[in-house]
Chains A and B, each alone.
Chain A
Amino acid sequence: MCCEATENALGIRAPRRARLIRSIMLEIERIHSHLLWLGIAGHIIGFDTVLMQAWRIREPVMWLAEYITGNRKTYGMNIVGGVRRDITREKHERILEVMKRVEEETVAVIRAVEGDTMLHVRLRGVGYLSPEDARAMCVVGPTARGSNIAIDARVDHPYAGYDELVPEKKVHDECDIWARTLVRLEETIESVRLVREGIKALQDMPEGEIVLNITEEVPEGLEGISVVEAPRGECIHYVITSAENRPHRWRVRAPSYMNIHALPVMFKNKDGGIPSEPFSRANIADIPIIIGSVDPCFSCTERVEVVDVKKKEVRFYTRNELIELCRLKAQELFNRRSITVGELGGSAKQPMERQH
């Protein structure tokens, strides 16, 4: 999180209640993201029933997030120094009820799916990523934990409330899509347990402050870095502050950036076989599910590649070109209102410099 990075830059720490609330919201996001993935993976192999039922189980979690934060998915809870909304006592009962429901139904799904030989036939032995290859490609998250590499940023670099709520690393060693599926399903159950522990910790502590009152302006030139375990893996934020409470640079390394690079290796290996043998490579039918098994977030990849079909060339947009395009678009929008960019509200000198 960018807020954690800025807090690290300033050397401050959010109050305990805020840290616990941050952890609870992260685990709720993990539950909804893994159930979403289960549905999508089912859809890719044609099993629409799993899609609909997993998303039906996920729907109360979305309503819960709307109840707590005001929106189903974009929570907007974090701010530098704490959180914006409190999880007061009357919300605890609803959270625990939803968690109980989700746990029951997810356990039922796991019991039903783990013995299904048709799914085994499609998912076992497909998309094999050996532990050596996984280390070489630096994959993160459930993709790594499915290949017997026990990394989890919540345990290795504790942040937010994870020094109190310690999760257990779920690691499997089959190294194929089946292992990643099991890792994600088990993590969902683990997240339910963590939410329950977090709510209990909130109930035990008195109602306190949820945000630090930062009165001085943030000094210029401070650096901060924070590592977060997103549902897809390890996400790193790096911040350099500048004058007037604005960041000079904000760099995000999304986990999908690392996981997508491992895809060609998975296409080549099948059943842990020798890559040069003709029938040990993945079929066309396997490719969508392999891509789906790393849970790709394509919007987190960073290049804009332009393919010119007429001239038959490929080029990448650089950072300055992307910033220039953003500025042109903003100017066009403001031109429709006949307002010039210089009269914008606030004290911004260069409004677009904030984007990376």
Chain B
Amino acid sequence: MIGSKLKELMIALRGGAPRPLVVTLPYPLGPGAEVPEGFRGKVEVDVSKCVGCGGCANVCPSRCILIEDTSQLWRKMTVMRERCTYCARCQEVCQEKAITLTCEFELATDDPADLTDTWEVFMATCSRCGRCFKPKTVLDKMMEVGFKPPMEKRYGAYAMSPAKEALEDC
């Protein structure tokens, strides 16, 4: 029995050698462990790449990504990260790589609005079949009936010329 106790003491003393005796990190008062690439962290949406196909909303298991078609032309999408399970299925399905999972994990907050994002996508309709698509260039966008720049830019604090504004939100 004394032998076992000594062996246990040796395990504790070695403590993860060749590392030092203490293996815990001083996080959050110091740097934490490095997060590897491919870590499934916070969901980020690159709005300029999104075409509004709704694949992510279809595949999300906790129904965090919601689609609201305010009209035929405007699709409003919301991501409510408070129920996100970080499964990365939205990332897998997105063809444009607009929705990705970053390496951020420090997401605790007391206000769910911090974790909610909304974006609007302008969907033009094909003149022949009537289905929605996203126009490629600015000029095509401006030629569609009913095109208006998104809400955030419309009532922005800084004044811009309309042409430059249209360029901004492509």
Contact = CB atoms under 8 A, between A and B. Distances in A.
B67 interface: yes
B58 A109 contact: no
A85 B23 CA distance: 30
Interface in B1-32: 1, 3-5, 7-8, 10-12, 15-16, 23
B78 A339 contact: yes
Given A70-B38, A345-B63, A49 B8 contact: yes
Contact of A66 (B8, B39, B59, B85): B39
B80 A66 contact: no
Interface in A330-353: 330, 333, 336-337, 339, 343-347, 351
Contacts of A63: 33, 36
A116 B8 contact: yes
B28 to A, nearest CB: 18
B42 to A, nearest CB: 13
Contacts of A337: 66, 78, 80, 116
A84 B67 CA distance: 26
A113 interface: yes
Interface string B107-132: 00000100010000000000000000
B98 to A, nearest CB: 15
B86 A118 contact: no
Given A56-B16, A112-B4, A351-B63, A346 B57 contact: yes
Residue with the greatest number of chain A CB neighbours at <10 A, chosen from B10, B66, B85, B92 = B66
A53 B23 CA distance: 10
A316 to B, nearest CB: 27
Contacts of B16: 56
B40 interface: yes
A278 interface: no
A348 B21 CA distance: 55
A84 B35 CA distance: 20
Contacts of B86: 70-71, 74
Interface string B35-50: 1101110000000000
For the residues of B in contact with A, the DSSP-based class is mixed
Residue with the greatest number of chain B CB neighbours at <10 A, chosen from A70, A111, A336 = A70
Nearest to B58: A346
Contacts, number: 92
A112 B11 contact: yes
Interface string A229-249: 000000000000000000000
Interface residues of B, number: 40
A114 B1 CA distance: 10
A265 B150 CA distance: 67
Nearest to A64: B36
A70 B37 CA distance: 8
B8 A76 contact: no
B68 interface: yes
A339 B66 contact: yes
B65 interface: yes
Given A346-B57, A351-B63, A113 B39 contact: no
A108 B1 contact: no
Contacts of B60: 345
Contacts of B101: 70
Given A112-B11, A115-B4, A84 B92 contact: yes
Contacts of B83: 333
A117 interface: yes
Contacts of B39: 66, 70-71
A71 B36 CA distance: 10
A301 B8 CA distance: 36
B51 interface: no
Contact of B11 (A76, A109, A115): A109
A67 interface: yes
Given A66-B36, A112-B7, 16 more contacts: A56-B15, A67-B38, A70-B101, A76-B40, A76-B88, A105-B11, A108-B10, A112-B10, A116-B5, A333-B83, A337-B78, A337-B116, A339-B78, A344-B57, A345-B60, A346-B57
22 contacts: A56-B23, A63-B36, A67-B38, A70-B88, A76-B40, A76-B87, A84-B88, A84-B92, A111-B7, A112-B4, A112-B8, A113-B4, A114-B4, A115-B1, A116-B5, A117-B4, A333-B80, A336-B112, A337-B66, A339-B66, A344-B67, A345-B58
Interface of B: 1, 3-5, 7-8, 10-12, 15-16, 23, 33, 35-36, 38-40, 54, 57-60, 63, 65-68, 77-78, 80, 83, 85-88, 92, 101, 112, 116
Interface of A: 49-50, 53, 56, 59, 63, 66-67, 70-71, 74, 76, 84-85, 105, 108-109, 111-118, 330, 333, 336-337, 339, 343-347, 351
